[in-house]
Amino acid sequence: MANIGTRLLEMSFGRPSGPLGRIGGRLMARGNAATERHLVEIADLGRQDAVLILGPGPGVGLEAAGARSGHVIGIDPSELMLESCRRRSAELIGSGTVRLARGVAADTGQPAGSVDVVLAVNNVQIWPDWRAAFGELHRVLRPGGRVLVSAHEKWLPGGLAALAAAVERAGFEEIRTWTWEPPGRSATTAAQLRARRAVTAETTS
């Protein structure tokens, strides 16, 4: 059974809910905004790209992606965070640029080969099953599509080496990893990864 500290962290940041989730959402919208925007920037999104954002939380990156691409889908298991995304991106949702759905990385509900770019900031470290999740991302990406992931380095289990190994096992290629320092004195180092789904058909293991 999860201890009380773990439960409080879960309610604040892991799968935000209730009053703690509201506070967590506000903190994340401020503290993680630079990283969210940076990942969108380096993803080099085109207007026609279909972009899947996992765990958008309060939706800063979702909004930034919606300013560049005409087709953005945000998937999050937290109804509270989906509501926050709805408020932040109301216009983009109204115009049909941004869509939201409840789900998790391992089960996005998206059709096979329907996505050009997957982005995930600060949630890969809490996905319970990397094999299932990266297998799902490989499935929904079109051949040649790319995935970009960022996580607080200090909270990434096994570090970038473990993350890259999981991504490779799922069949991705051209895997690159690096760290990035967000601006601000309290910001922590971001561990980041980029990979591509092979253009030739591959099976996941």
Ligand X SMILES: C[S@@+](CC[C@H](N)C(=O)[O-])C[C@H]1O[C@@H](n2cnc3c(N)ncnc32)[C@H](O)[C@@H]1O
Q: Which residues contact ligand X (rule: CB under 6 A)? A: 13-16, 28, 32, 36, 54-57, 76-78, 81, 104-105, 121-123, 126-127
Nearer to ligand X, 188 or 204 (CB): 188
| Element at 102 (helix H, strand E) | strand 98-102
Query: Whole-number minimum distance, CB 152 to ligand X, in Å?
Result: 9
Query: Whole-number minimum distance, CB 200 to ligand X, in Å?
Result: 28
Query: Whole-number minimum distance, CB 84 to ligand X, in Å?
Result: 9
> Residue with CB nearest ligand X?
57
DSSP 38: H
Nearer to ligand X, 118 or 164 (CB): 118
Closest to 90 (Cα-Cα) out of 69, 66, 118, 56: 66
Q: Which two tokens stand for residue 89?
A: 């991106």
Query: Whole-number minimum distance, CB 48 to ligand X, in Å?
Result: 24
Residue 15 to residue 8: CA distance in whole angstroms: 10
| Element at 62 (helix H, strand E) | helix 60-66
Nearer to ligand X, 126 or 198 (CB): 126
Cβ contact 173:138 at 8 Å: no
Nearer to ligand X, 121 or 140 (CB): 121
Angle at 74 between CA 49 and CA 40, to 5 degrees: 55
Q: Which two tokens stand for residue 74?
A: 């945000």
Query: Whole-number minimum distance, CB 23 to ligand X, in Å?
Result: 13
Nearer to ligand X, 7 or 144 (CB): 7
